């Protein structure tokens, strides 16, 4: 193991940026000893109080006000990009040109042209590039994937995925950047990207979509009077602006295996703070996951006694991926959630950079992120064509 510190920075100090920052702080507390010391170098955000607070909370050396300052710092080895989607490409291009490794939040970019440019950049880059899909790091989700791959559910018959949230239910919520950008850039890109990736992680690549419908429940929102952090409320003016993208999206899909799927996403589903969930059905069993109960999943398969057949609760524990070595208390039923998944994601990113022996599975690539964006684009095309089937480009 190298004793030369690996220097990291986070660009963006909002709720996801803080999750990356906390993740880097914890990477050497989980799993093996394969990483060198990690130097927490900088948090960058144009909102100076937010940047300073994040740096203080998570032990970073300094707060800076521009991403350019991070990119120009030759002592920084790796960065997380956790800002508005339209900034992903210019930051990634500059960082890779400066020889820095890049972990980019999803969706990969603000446009298809930007995403394709980033994939082309990845193909020629001599650095590690990755996209953040944290739900891949859930022990329960990874365990369900193992059930599917070992064919314990038999031939698969249906995947039903949804991501229902309520962060946009309040019509007085400010018109932040999340409500700009046109069809596909709303709930579909923000939260739909996660459930699409979860479906592909468990069941393989999606090759076509159909029957798509996009809808907007709140057509106008008040303009904010200052910075808006994450999904938080903020002071607003009496002036309003048009919401440019969807609150809700539903569509059908087909996986490469021929498996059929249904997906629905919404940011106006009242009472659902963070409702990613899915069910996988097969001829010989089914598995169900709900993020509101992250430390368990339901599993059902034929029992020797028909009278006792039915779904049973499986509690996450050391027998599942990521648990052994990934929790301070390695005992079934002790919980777990969002923060740990960011730790595992950051650890996997740094594992790949340094070539850690027995590393965690690598993160999704820029090419994976582009594929998810192509699915989102196909959903928009289907919705604009009265639900017509749209094929996903293959590479």
pLDDT averaged over 10-residue windows placed end to end, the chain, 395 residues: 84 96 96 93 96 98 98 98 95 98 95 96 95 96 97 97 97 91 94 97 98 98 82 83 97 98 98 97 97 95 79 91 90 84 97 93 96 97 98 82
What CATH code is assigned to 6-135?
3.40.50.720
Phi, psi of 383 (to 5 degrees): -65, -35
Q: What is the pTM of this model?
A: 0.93
Q: What is the residue-wise DSSP string for 3-66?
A: -SPEEEEEE--SHHHHHHHHHHHHGGGSS-S-S--EEEEEEE-SSHHHHHHHHHHHT-SEEES-
DSSP symbol at 307: G
pLDDT of residue 235: 87
Task: Judge whether 214 and 246 are in contact, CB under 8 Å.
Answer: yes
CA atoms of 37 and 44, how far apart (whole Å) = 21
pLDDT of residue 233: 73
pLDDT of residue 230: 67
pLDDT of residue 330: 84
Strands 78-81 and 101-105: parallel
What ranges do the domains of the chain cover?
Answer: 6-135, 139-332+372-383
Task: Judge whether 259 and 154 are in contact, CB under 8 Å.
Answer: no
What CATH code is assigned to 139-332+372-383?
3.30.360.10
């Amino acid at each position: 193991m190298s004793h030369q510190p690996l220097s990291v920075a986070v660009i963006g100090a909002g709720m996801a940026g803080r999750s990356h920052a906390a993740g880097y702080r914890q990477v050497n507390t989980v799993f093996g000893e394969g990483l060198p010391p990690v130097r927490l170098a900088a948090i960058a955000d144009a909102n100076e109080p937010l940047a300073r607070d994040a740096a203080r909370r998570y032990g970073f050396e300094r707060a800076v006000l521009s991403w350019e300052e991070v990119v120009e710092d030759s002592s920084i080895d790796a960065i997380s990009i956790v800002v508005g989607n339209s900034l992903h490409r210019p930051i990634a291009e500059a960082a890779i040109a400066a020889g820095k490794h890049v972990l980019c939040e999803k969706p990969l970019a603000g446009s298809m042209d930007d995403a394709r440019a980033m994939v082309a950049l990845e193909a020629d880059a001599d650095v590690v590039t990755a996209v953040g899909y944290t739900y891949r790091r859930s022990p329960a989700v990874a365990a369900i994937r193992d059930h599917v791959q070992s064919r314990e559910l038999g031939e698969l018959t249906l995947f039903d995925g949804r991501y229902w949230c309520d962060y946009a239910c309040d019509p007085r919520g400010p018109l932040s950047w999340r409500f700009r950008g046109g069809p596909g850039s709303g709930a579909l890109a923000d939260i739909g990207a996660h459930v699409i990736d979860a479906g592909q992680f468990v069941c393989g690549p999606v090759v076509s979509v159909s029957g798509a419908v996009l809808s907007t429940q709140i057509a106008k929102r008040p303009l904010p009077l200052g910075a808006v952090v994450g999904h938080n409320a903020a002071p607003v003016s009496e002036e309003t602006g048009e919401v440019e993208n969807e609150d809700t999206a539903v569509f059908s899909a087909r996986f490469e295996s021929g498996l059929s799927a249904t997906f629905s996403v919404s940011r106006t589903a009242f009472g659902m703070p963070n409702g990613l969930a899915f069910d996988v059905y097969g001829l010989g069993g089914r598995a169900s996951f709900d993020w509101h109960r992250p430390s368990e999943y339901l599993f059902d398969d034929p029992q020797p006694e028909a009278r006792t057949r039915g779904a049973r609760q499986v509690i996450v524990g050391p027998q599942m991926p990521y648990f052994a070595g990934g929790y301070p208390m390695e005992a079934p039923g002790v919980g777990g959630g969002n923060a740990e998944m960011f730790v595992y994601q950051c650890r996997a990113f740094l594992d790949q950079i340094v070539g850690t022996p027995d590393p965690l599975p690598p993160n999704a690539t820029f090419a994976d992120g582009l594929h998810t964006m192509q699915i989102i684009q196909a959903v928009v095309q289907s919705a604009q064509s009265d639900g017509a089937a749209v094929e996903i480009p293959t590479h």
